[in-house]
């Protein structure tokens, strides 16, 4: 099964991601917060038999950078982050699963 892990630069910060599987409409997972990470969503990796499943840690969480600038914690910035992750990974059409 195809696996990939890396870093995407978003607004000058490092955002970690992992992709498992290929084909189908990719599933992009979005963990809750603040401060959490993707770990509790890893059971969704079982879906990678039929499609690509992408996990990422939002800025300030998990394996991503953890800046201490409170001005960064705005909805608009996090929406932009999802767009940057999609663009960097070439994810045009997705299913988005947000869980908190």
Q: What whole-number distance in Å separates Cα of residue 98 and Cα of residue 28?
A: 8
| Interval 44-59: pLDDT, tens | 999 999 999 999 999 9
Element housing 97 (H / E): strand 95-98
Tally of domains within the chain:
1
| Interval 57-80: pLDDT, tens | 999 999 999 999 999 999 999 999
Q: What is the pLDDT of residue 8?
A: 98
Q: What whole-number distance in Å separates Cα of residue 37 and Cα of residue 62?
A: 4
Q: State the CATH number of the domain containing residue 58.
A: 3.40.50.1820
Q: What is the pLDDT of residue 35?
A: 77
Q: Which domain holds residue 15?
A: 3-98
pTM here? 0.94
């Amino acid at each position: 099964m195809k696996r990939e892990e890396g870093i995407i630069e978003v607004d000058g910060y490092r955002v970690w991601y992992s992709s498992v599987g290929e084909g189908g409409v990719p599933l992009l997972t979005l963990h809750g917060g603040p401060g959490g990470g993707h770990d509790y969503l890893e059971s969704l990796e079982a879906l990678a038999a039929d499609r690509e499943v992408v996990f990422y840690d939002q800025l300030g969480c998990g394996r991503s950078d953890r800046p201490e600038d409170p001005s960064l914690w705005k909805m608009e910035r996090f929406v932009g982050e999802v767009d940057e992750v999609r663009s960097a990974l070439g994810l045009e059409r997705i299913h988005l699963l947000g869980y908190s």
